[in-house]
Structure 1
Amino acid sequence: MVVAVSSNSFLNLSQLPKSKLFGTDGIRGKAGNLLTAPLALAVGYWAGQVYQEKYGKGAIAIGQDSRNSSDMLAMSLTAGLTASGLEVWNLGLCPTPCVAYLTANTDAIGGIMISASHNPPEDNGIKFFSANGTKLSKTEASAIEAGVRGEKPTITHDVNWGQHYPRQGLVQKYTTALQQSLPHERPLDGLKIVLDLAWGACVEIAPSLFQEMGAEVIPLHDSPDGDRINVDCGSTHLNVLQQAVCETQADMGFAFDGDADRVLAVDNQGRVVDGDYILYFWGNLLKNQAQLPDNLLVATVMANLGFEHAWSKQGGQLIRTPVGDQHVQAQMWETGAMLGGEQSGHVICHHYNCSGDGVQTALHLACLTQELGMSLSQMRDESFETYPQLLTNVRVEDAQRRCAWEDCDALQSAIAQAEQAMGDQGRVLIRASGTEPLIRVMVEAYEWEIANHWSHQLVQTVHQNLVNSVSHYS
């Protein structure tokens, strides 16, 4: 059959936002506002064209979290992909790293995850993976967007309509891989572990996995609930997990975000064990096993100075990247690093997967306590002291001022003064948010009073020069 597809066959182009559809992690926004069925249909079709240009015919694996809008987006994307001639495998509810793993370890030519990660229930997102399980490149994302925006000519070609297949059974291939990455059959025997599943993507796999590995599991927020995903729970709201760990006298607890690509831990005293600690613990294990090339870890600019200094004393190297797992991933591929991640709990270990994986990270951290014969609390106490780190978000509605903060003379002078005063015992990080109208001001120092002093000075400077008055630019 010969079909002519024009660039505006699927949606009203005038309704598209002027800003770019693709952000730092695919397309993300309010469901029913930015993310509509017509948009997802168009995105699916043009993604199908881009995948075929690179890989030819094949299948796309689609997974989703528990949001109420995820079914709508999955069906619309499927319609677009099959209209382009591709096969679609519907994985159903599963974590983002499951999609990445299956894309890399099956005949699929690409993967799509429908999730807005740690965002609230009303948001959703579309993340794309290439055939090797990594995020789709900026060039390929731009090609999809160009098609959606009508910047590509009408396509006239023979189409063999693609087919859609339910393939939920493939998720078992992913969970089997998680089990096989652990040291033996029941490495968690004797441990009591609380899991906060955030009403999200890993509710159907994480509790059973931990139980099969020998742990006594106390689950929280453990059913798929699109109305409550991430609401006052999960990796962005740890208070419920901390309370549960202490009340049940558990050995540790883990909190996942909505799509389970990140995790934060809590020790038996209710103290947070963030991504910096996890990288330090796991990095030391791999270093001692000669499985960490050049003793190198990759972290972001948010990584704590206490962690960096402690890792250096262990003979390790640390490379910092901008915030975002895609930057960590790119640096790992470039340098050959096998372990990297973010303070927020997005940890990537290339020994086992090519994306951040919260469930896998939690399993390995729990196993590590058993291997060392130490509680997570003891491991934390014997590692490093974090420097006080104060992060303040200043709302700057004027996009021009927000993006030009580096040209503000008063702010640059204040930054230089703070950095000179703190020397190598503190640091300043200021950046404009890529997703919200905010300037983020982070100050870190070896003493809380010093961090608080310079944080106040810098936040006040941002208010005076970028919020309340006309800025003076160089």
Structure 2
Amino acid sequence: MKYFGTDGFRGEANKGLNVYHAFKIGRFLGDYFKTDNGYNGKIVIGKDTRRSSYMFEDALSAGITSSGSNAHLLHVTTTPSVSYIVRSENFDCGVMITASHNPFYDNGIKLINSKGEKMKDDFLEELEKYIDSDIKDIDLAVGEKIGRTVDFIGGRNRYIGYLIQTVNKSFEGIKVGLDCANGASFTIAKPVYDALGADTYVINDKPNGFNINVDSGSTHINALQKYVVENGLDIGFAFDGDADRCIAVDSKGNVVDGDGIIYVCAKYMKNEGKLPSNTVATTIMSNIGLYKALDQIGISYVKTKVGDKYVHQAMEENDYEIGGEQSGHIIFRKYANTGDGILTSLRVMEAMIDQKTDLKSLTRDLKIYPQVLENVKVKDKEETLSNEKVCQMIDQVNKELADSGRVLVRASGTEPLIRVMVEAESDNKAKECCQKIIDTIKSENLTI
């Protein structure tokens, strides 16, 4: 698709994604849901803490209401809260304004269907056609048909209540660190943990419109590692800008990424009889160490393309209970249809408390292999992947690593890049093998 990738319509604010795009998206949504259902459409909007999110919220609201539907504003909130509100409050559609873990000058628009899932491709294709067409294609609503904007901050509070009620035990006496990335979770995470009785310590919870994800959150985990160790905390959780990701830190400052969280939670669920499929959904980027650890405890797994929407699709089609990505997008189908960072952290807490141990102990049998990922700019992605010598080198490296590592070479979906990923028992070995493949690509004159 031209605009909507796996994570919505994203670009630098007022450059790649501008206010006119947002207005036209609003116009299309307002008209589509008004027409389809024979009444004023009901659309809910959330946003993260970027300066431009307020501008896009206004443009979307104007577009929706001028087409004859109603825009309900959750204000600053998380992506998973929009997903929850859409499906629990019978909205036609949800919109989240966020660029997730990207810098403040980027922004994005994610669309969520009435089931709380990412919008289907055929809908997005129709929307993209409209974005590139004449705005006069849709009539402006007049008189009593003009939609209205509704302050819906109460929906965010209902989501907080929902998160709390998914937990049936107290967190009393546990020191928990939360890194809110100066993003959307700053309004939600602490109230949840306070209500559950934790001793809650929070960092990066003072957004100013420009500091979202800056040296903080799940993509800059060193800030939380240091904070947990210096303050003697039992555990820490870092979220990204829109809080659909979660990365954990144990009491010693060791990082437990999405693969580690999947391992801890899937093993716990199996032991509790809550994993009837005995299978987890991962992406092709999950670490070989996760698969070896799952093999040891007799849990099966499937591998999807990169992107949490593909993980969710596999879970829906096969009735899997848990799935996710190394980056911290974890889906628990019993509770949500999308990755939810705060919900994920609660499930880790549950596993830890029920088993009367700490996170470090829960991950002791999981060995994450060092991973090297390099991007190579190429003239032609297909030609590179089918090149005889490149394929031979990939085979050679795979044989060299045997069962002590793996190679994954794939094309970027949006850029002229080949991504070369190697996992091995040591950093040096991974770098060495990765470089062999890159050197072969270069020697074949395939690079730009």
Q: TM-score, normalising length from structure 1?
A: 0.89
CA–CA separation in structure 2 for the residues paired with 1:302 and 1:97: 23
User: Does the aligned pair in 1 maintain the 2:67–2:138 contact within 8 Å?
Assistant: no
User: Where does residue 317 of structure 1 map in the other structure?
Assistant: 300
User: Where does residue 353 of structure 1 map in the other structure?
Assistant: 336
Aligned length: 445
- Return the offset for 1:218: 1.6
Counterpart check, 1:290 vs 2:273: yes
User: Where does residue 418 of structure 1 map in the other structure?
Assistant: 397
User: Where does residue 379 of structure 1 map in the other structure?
Assistant: 362
Counterpart check, 1:245 vs 2:228: yes
**Match for residue 201 of structure 2 among 200, 211, 218:** 218
CA–CA separation in structure 2 for the residues paired with 1:53 and 1:437: 40
Equivalences for 1:388-467 in 2 at 5 Å? Answer: 388-394=370-376, 396=377, 400-402=379-381, 404-465=383-444
User: Does the aligned pair in 2 maintain the 1:146–1:152 contact within 8 Å?
Assistant: no
Go from structure 1 to structure 2 and tell me whether the alpha carbon gap of 1:110 and 1:142 turns closer, same or farther (over 3 Å shift). same
User: Where does residue 191 of structure 1 map in the other structure?
Assistant: 174
Counterpart check, 1:333 vs 2:343: no
User: Where does residue 34 of structure 1 map in the other structure?
Assistant: 16
User: Where does residue 167 of structure 1 map in the other structure?
Assistant: 152
User: Where does residue 231 of structure 1 map in the other structure?
Assistant: 214
Gaps of 5+ in 2: none
User: Does the aligned pair in 2 maintain the 1:65–1:93 contact within 8 Å?
Assistant: yes
- Return the offset for 1:131: 0.5
More divergent stretch after superposition (427-436 vs 314-323): 427-436
Go from structure 1 to structure 2 and tell me whether the alpha carbon gap of 1:242 and 1:435 turns closer, same or farther (over 3 Å shift). farther
- Return the offset for 1:447: 4.5
User: Does the aligned pair in 1 maintain the 2:331–2:339 contact within 8 Å?
Assistant: yes
User: Does the aligned pair in 2 maintain the 1:24–1:434 contact within 8 Å?
Assistant: no
Q: Deviations over 1:309-342 (max 9, x none)?
A: 2112212110011111111011111111111000
User: Where does residue 126 of structure 1 map in the other structure?
Assistant: 109
Q: Deviations over 1:104-136 (max 9, x none)?
A: 111211100000000000000000000010000
Cα RMSD of the aligned pairs, angstroms, is 2.0
Go from structure 1 to structure 2 and tell me whether the alpha carbon gap of 1:158 and 1:70 turns closer, same or farther (over 3 Å shift). closer
SS at match of 1:69: helix
User: Where does residue 145 of structure 1 map in the other structure?
Assistant: 128
SS at match of 2:236: strand
Go from structure 1 to structure 2 and tell me whether the alpha carbon gap of 1:87 and 1:404 turns closer, same or farther (over 3 Å shift). farther
Query: Aligned AA for 2:69?
Result: L
Gaps of 5+ in 1: 1-18, 470-474
User: Where does residue 307 of structure 1 map in the other structure?
Assistant: 290
Query: Aligned AA for 2:225?
Result: Q
Query: Aligned AA for 2:103?
Result: P
Query: Aligned AA for 2:104?
Result: P
SS at match of 2:238: strand
Q: Deviations over 1:397-436 (max 9, x none)?
A: x5x4245432233222211111222233322112233355
Query: Aligned AA for 2:154?
Result: G
- Return the offset for 1:28: 0.1
CA–CA separation in structure 1 for the residues paired with 2:38 and 2:106: 32
**Match for residue 258 of structure 1 among 241, 245, 270:** 241
SS at match of 1:236: coil
Between the aligned residues of both structures, percent identity stands at 38
User: Does the aligned pair in 2 maintain the 1:112–1:127 contact within 8 Å?
Assistant: yes
SS at match of 2:241: coil
- Which 4+ residue blocks in structure 1 deviate beyond 4 angstroms? 52-56, 155-159, 466-469
- Return the offset for 1:47: 2.6
More divergent stretch after superposition (256-265 vs 208-217): 208-217
Q: Deviations over 1:233-273 (max 9, x none)?
A: 11111111111111111111111100000010111111100
Query: Aligned AA for 1:45?
Result: R
Go from structure 1 to structure 2 and tell me whether the alpha carbon gap of 1:24 and 1:465 turns closer, same or farther (over 3 Å shift). farther
Counterpart check, 1:62 vs 2:41: no
Go from structure 1 to structure 2 and tell me whether the alpha carbon gap of 1:117 and 1:410 turns closer, same or farther (over 3 Å shift). same
Q: TM-score, normalising length from structure 2?
A: 0.94
User: Does the aligned pair in 1 maintain the 2:228–2:253 contact within 8 Å?
Assistant: yes
User: Does the aligned pair in 2 maintain the 1:55–1:109 contact within 8 Å?
Assistant: no
